[in-house]
Chains A and B, each alone.
Chain A
Amino acid sequence: MQQFSLLLTSLPDGILLGFVYGLAAMGLTLIWGVMNVINLSHGPIIALGMFGTFFLFMRAGVNPYVGLIPIAVVGVLLGVLIYVIAVHRVINAPHLSSLLATFSVNMIIIGLGTAALTTSPYNVDFSAGSFKIGPVTLLGTRLIAALVTMLFTGGLYLFLYRTRPGKFIRAVANNRAAAELMGVPSTRILALSFGLGTMLAMVSGALIATFFPFSILAGGSYELKSFVIGVLGGLGNPIGALFGGLILGVIEGIIPAFLETSWVPVIEFALFVLILLVRPSGLFGAKK
C-alpha cells in the first residue's frame, strides 16, 4: 500500500520528466539521422540551455518559458557554428573523426564553462504552482515542460514533412549526392540540421533547469539518457525519441517504488544493452 502511494507520486513525475528526456534525445537523434554523426557535445549543450534559463530568469527576470525563444535562437546559431567549425571538415571521414571532433567541442564547452561558472550547483528559483488531480499532484513546471515538448515535437514533425527546408533535410539525410544533384545546397542543410539538433538540446536543458539544480557538468547524465532513448526509439527517428523518452520516464517512475534510486542507471543501461542485442534498430525502427 505504501508502495502504491509512492507510485502515485513518482510515476506521473517520471512520465512528465520522460517528455523532456525525449526532447533532449530528439536533438541527438536528428543529428545522427541526417549526417550519421554522434554528437558528443550533446551534454554540455544541454547544460548551456540550463544556464540560459538561469541567466535570463535569475538575472534579467525573463519568464523561463518566454526565455525559451531566445535560447532556441541561440541554439540554432550555436549549432550552425559548431557544424561549420568542427563537424563539416570531418563529415565524410570515418566515425572516429566526428566522434573526436564533437568530443573536442564537449571539452571546450566544459572547460570554458568551468572557468566561467565553476562546477558548483546553480538553482533556478521558479515555481509554476502545482495541480491536484485526485490523489496525484503534478508540478506546474513539469506539466508545462511536457506541453512544450509536445509543441516542439509537433513543430519538428510539421517542419520536416510539410515545409520545403524540412523536405530538404529529409532528402539530404536519405541521399546527399542525389539531393545535391536536384539543386539542394547540402552543406547548408547539414548546418541547419545541426543547428536544429542543438536547439532541441538547449531547449530541453532550459526546461530541466526549472526542475533541478545543475552545473556545467549536469548535461552528462541527460546525454547518456539520450543514447539509451535513441536506441529505444531508433536512432534517427524524432517521434521514436519521444516514445523512448516516455518509456525511460515510466521506468524512472516505477523503480523508486520498489528499489533504491541508485538502481535507475543500472536498469536503464541493462535495457540499453538488451535492446542493442535483440533489436538493434530500436523498438520503433530506425531509418537505416
Chain B
Amino acid sequence: MALLEIKDVTSGYGDVQILWGSTLSLEKGKLTSLVGGNGVGKTTLLRTIMGLLPPWSGTITFDGRDVSRLPAYTKAEMGLVLVPEGRQLFTDMTVLENLEMGATSQRARPHFARNLERVYEMFPRLKERSAQKAGTLSGGEQQMLAVARGIMADPIVLIIDELSLGLAPVLVLQLFDSLKLLREEGITLLLVEQNVQLALAISDYGFVLAEGKVELEGPARKLIQDKHIRAAYLGL
C-alpha cells in the first residue's frame, strides 16, 4: 500500500477550480517527481495535501489514515512536511531559530540535536550563519535553510516545491545529492520541479500534471524517454 494516496482531489481558490480530480500516490522510501507546466496546479495540489487549502472533494490518505480534513498544523506532527514554494522562511528570525521552528512538532523535538548536526553537516554554510537573520541570507542560502528546516521536522514524507528555482547549477546538483542521501535514510520524497530532466533523472517514479489532472505517470526512467514529455517539457 502506498504511504500517501491522493484520490480524485478537487480544489481551488474561491470560485475558481484549479484541481480537477488529481490522483497520485507515493511509495514508501521512494523519490517521486511531480512535473508540469507553469500554473497547472502543482503548488495548489501540495497546499491541498498539507491542509492549507481545503479539498472540495476526494480523499487524502496518509499511512492508512484519512487526513483530508485535518488542519495544516497537525500534518507536521504526523511526519508530513512541506518545503513550500518561495521558501517562506521566518525572515525576521535567525537561521538557528528557523531550524528550531522546523522542529516544532512533538515527534521532531527529541531528535533536535541529531537533526541539527545532520543539517549543519549537509549545509556547513548554515552553521556559519546560524546567528544571522534568515532574511539577510543569499537566495541559495535561503533555499538551503528551507530544506534544512524541513529536515529538522524529522519527516516521514518530505515534499519539496521548486527546489532548484533560481539557483546556480552547482548548488542545484548539491541539493539533489542531499535528496539522494535523504532517500537512503528512508525518507519518502515528493519533488516538484521545473527542471524536469534533472528531477526525473534521480527519481524512481514520476507524475505529470496538466490542467489540474494527472496526465501521465510511470517509472521515471520510462517518462524521460516518453516522446510527449521530451517534446513538451524537455524541449527535445
Give A contacts to B, CB under 8 Å.
167-168, 170-171, 173-175, 177-186, 287
Contact = CB atoms under 8 A, between A and B. Distances in A.
B211 interface: no
Given A171-B93, A182-B149, A177 B100 contact: no
A175 B52 contact: no
B97 interface: yes
B72 A180 contact: yes
A185 B73 contact: yes
B76 A175 contact: no
A182 B91 contact: no
B73, B81, B82, B105 pick with most chain A CB within 10 angstroms = B73
B208 to A, nearest CB: 25
B28 interface: no
Contacts of A173: 92
Interface residues of B, number: 27
Give me the 7 closest cross-chain CB pairs, A-B, nearest first.
Answer: A183-B76, A183-B105, A178-B88, A183-B104, A180-B72, A174-B90, A182-B104
B217 to A, nearest CB: 26
B88, B91, B97 pick with most chain A CB within 10 angstroms = B88
B129 interface: no
B100 A167 contact: yes
B84 A181 contact: yes
Given A167-B100, A167-B101, A175-B88, A181 B93 contact: no
B102 interface: yes
A175 B82 CA distance: 14
A154 to B, nearest CB: 20
Given A174-B91, A175-B88, A175-B90, A181 B76 contact: yes
Contact of B153 (A174, A179, A182): A182
Nearest to A178: B88
A183 B73 contact: yes
Nearest to A183: B76
19 contacts: A167-B100, A170-B90, A170-B93, A171-B93, A174-B91, A174-B92, A178-B84, A178-B89, A180-B73, A181-B50, A181-B73, A181-B76, A181-B82, A182-B73, A182-B104, A182-B153, A183-B76, A183-B153, A287-B92
Contacts of A183: 73-77, 104-105, 108, 153
Contact of A167 (B52, B97, B108): B97
Contacts of B88: 175, 177-178, 181
Contact of B101 (A177, A179, A186): A179
Given A170-B90, A175-B89, A181 B97 contact: no
Contacts of A167: 93, 97, 100-101
A20 to B, nearest CB: 28
Nearest to A161: B97
Given A181-B81, A183-B77, 10 more contacts: A167-B97, A170-B93, A171-B90, A171-B101, A175-B91, A178-B84, A178-B88, A183-B76, A183-B108, A186-B73
B2 to A, nearest CB: 22
A41 to B, nearest CB: 27
B5 to A, nearest CB: 20
Nearest to A188: B73
B52 A181 contact: yes
A180 B108 CA distance: 15
A93 to B, nearest CB: 13
A136 to B, nearest CB: 40
Contacts of A171: 90, 93, 101
A177 B104 contact: no
A167 B97 CA distance: 8
Contacts of A184: 73, 101, 104
Contacts of B90: 170-171, 174-175, 178-179
Interface string B63-105: 0000000011111110001101000111111000100111011
A268 B84 CA distance: 45
Nearest to A186: B73
A177 B52 contact: yes
A174 B74 CA distance: 20
A167, A175, A179 pick with most chain B CB within 10 angstroms = A175
A234 to B, nearest CB: 13
B72, B74, B97, B100 pick with most chain A CB within 10 angstroms = B72
A182 B152 CA distance: 10
A34 to B, nearest CB: 12
A179 B73 CA distance: 8
Contacts of B93: 167, 170-171, 174
A66 B114 CA distance: 45
A181 B72 contact: yes
A173, A182, A185, A287 pick with most chain B CB within 10 angstroms = A182
